[in-house]
Amino acid sequence: MTKKRNILRNLLSALFVLCSGSFTGVAQTTPDPGIAGPYAVSKLEYNFGDLAFTPPPAAAFPDNIEVIGSVHYPTDLSHGPYPVLLFLHGRHVTCWQTSDSSVALEWPCPTGWQSVTSYEGYYYLANNMASHGYIVISISANAISAIDNSLPDLGMNARAVLVQHHLDLWNAWNTVGGAPFDSLFIGKLNMQNIGTMGHSRGGEGVIYHAQYNASLGSPYGIKAVLTLAPIDYNRHVLNGIPLMDVSPYCDGDVSDLEGVHFYDDARYNDTSDEAPKHTILFTGADHDFFNTVWTPYLYPGGADDWLYYFSDTAAFCGASAPGSGRFDTTTQQAALTAYLAAFYRIYIGNETQFNPILQVSDIVPPASSMIGSSQIFVSYHPARVDRLDVNRTDNLTTYTTNTLSGNVTETGLVSSAICGGGLTMAVCDPGLSSDQLPHGGTAGTAGLGQMRMQWNDRTEWYQNALPVAYENLTPYQSLQFRATVDFVETATDSNLNFTVSLIDLAGDTSSQVVTNHSQALFYQQGTEPTDLPKEVFNTISIPLSSFTGINESKVRYIRFKFDKVSAGAVMISDLAFTNPLCGNFTALFSDSVTRVSLKAFFTNKSTSYDKDSLTWKWNFGDPASGVNDTSTQKNPFHIYPHSGTFNPCLYVTSYRKNGLVCMDSFCTSVHVATVGVPVINENKITIIPNPAKDYIQINGAANTDVLTLIDLYGQVVLTATLTQPIVQLPQSFPTGVYYAIITTGSGRIYNKLLIAR
Partner 1 sequence: MKKIFFLSLIALFFSGGLYAQEKARTEITSVKQKGEIVRYMLTSSKPFIVGNNTYILHVGDRSFFQYEQSENKGAGSITFLISVNDFNQLEDGNSVYLTYGMVSANADMESLSKRSTRCWAIGKFSKDILTK
Binding site for partner 1 (CB under 8 A): 62-63, 90-93, 100-106, 110, 146-147, 149-152, 154, 200-201, 229, 231, 233, 253-256, 258, 287, 296-297, 300-312, 421-422, 427, 430, 433-435, 437, 440-443, 529-531
Q: How far is the CB of 329 from partner 1 (least distance, A)?
A: 13
User: Over the Cα atoms of the chain, what is R_g?
Assistant: 29
Q: What is the dihedral of CA 506, 507, 512, 514, to 10 degrees?
A: 130
Nearer residue to partner 1 within complex by CB, 147 or 754 = 147
Nearer residue to partner 1 within complex by CB, 152 or 372 = 152
Nearer residue to partner 1 within complex by CB, 151 or 706 = 151
Asked whether 217 and 108 are in contact (CB, 8 A), the reply is no
* E strand or H helix at 243: strand 243-248
Q: How far is the CB of 579 from partner 1 (least distance, A)?
A: 35
Q: How far is the CB of 711 from partner 1 (least distance, A)?
A: 47
Q: How far is the CB of 149 from partner 1 (least distance, A)?
A: 5
**C-alpha–C-alpha distance, residues 413 and 102, integer Å:** 58
CA–CA–CA angle 524, 527, 529 (5° rounding): 120
Q: How far is the CB of 179 from partner 1 (least distance, A)?
A: 27
Nearer residue to partner 1 within complex by CB, 434 or 631 = 434
The residue type found at 595 is: R
SS3 403: coil
Which of these, 344, 374, 336, 381, lies nearest to 360 by C-alpha position? Answer: 381
**C-alpha–C-alpha distance, residues 29 and 120, integer Å:** 34
Nearer residue to partner 1 within complex by CB, 309 or 695 = 309
DSSP E strands: which ranges in 307-414? 376-381, 387-391, 408-411
Nearer residue to partner 1 within complex by CB, 297 or 713 = 297
Asked whether 263 and 277 are in contact (CB, 8 A), the reply is yes
Nearer residue to partner 1 within complex by CB, 83 or 449 = 449
Q: How far is the CB of 255 from partner 1 (least distance, A)?
A: 6
Q: How far is the CB of 454 from partner 1 (least distance, A)?
A: 20
Nearer residue to partner 1 within complex by CB, 273 or 429 = 429
Nearer residue to partner 1 within complex by CB, 94 or 497 = 94
> Please, what is the end-to-end C-alpha distance for the chain in angstroms?
26
Q: How far is the CB of 743 from partner 1 (least distance, A)?
A: 58
Beta strand 736-744 pairing with 387-391:
unpaired
**C-alpha–C-alpha distance, residues 448 and 733, integer Å:** 32
**C-alpha–C-alpha distance, residues 445 and 421, integer Å:** 9
Q: How far is the CB of 434 from partner 1 (least distance, A)?
A: 5
Nearer residue to partner 1 within complex by CB, 294 or 462 = 294
Q: How far is the CB of 533 from partner 1 (least distance, A)?
A: 15
**DSSP percent split of the chain into helix, strand, coil, nearest 5:** 15, 30, 50
**C-alpha–C-alpha distance, residues 541 and 481, integer Å:** 7
Q: How far is the CB of 514 from partner 1 (least distance, A)?
A: 29
How many alpha carbons lie under 13 Å from residue 6 in its C-beta half-sphere?
6
The sign of the CA dihedral 278, 283, 288, 290 is negative
Burial of 208 per CB tally in 10 Å (0-12, 13-18, 19+): buried
* E strand or H helix at 671: strand 670-672
Q: How far is the CB of 528 from partner 1 (least distance, A)?
A: 9
Nearer residue to partner 1 within complex by CB, 37 or 421 = 421
Beta strand 103-104 pairing with 113-115:
unpaired
Asked whether 54 and 64 are in contact (CB, 8 A), the reply is yes
How many alpha carbons lie under 13 Å from residue 197 in its C-beta half-sphere?
29
Query: Phi-psi region for residue 35, left (φ > 0), alpha (ψ -120 to 50) or beta?
Result: beta
Nearer residue to partner 1 within complex by CB, 76 or 312 = 312
Q: How far is the CB of 318 from partner 1 (least distance, A)?
A: 9
Nearer residue to partner 1 within complex by CB, 426 or 673 = 426
The number of angstroms, rounded, from the C-alpha of 302 to the middle of its chain's C-alpha atoms is 34
**C-alpha–C-alpha distance, residues 441 and 2, integer Å:** 49
Burial of 57 per CB tally in 10 Å (0-12, 13-18, 19+): exposed
**C-alpha–C-alpha distance, residues 168 and 302, integer Å:** 32
Q: How far is the CB of 101 from partner 1 (least distance, A)?
A: 5
Nearer residue to partner 1 within complex by CB, 322 or 623 = 322
Q: How far is the CB of 199 from partner 1 (least distance, A)?
A: 8
Nearer residue to partner 1 within complex by CB, 225 or 363 = 225
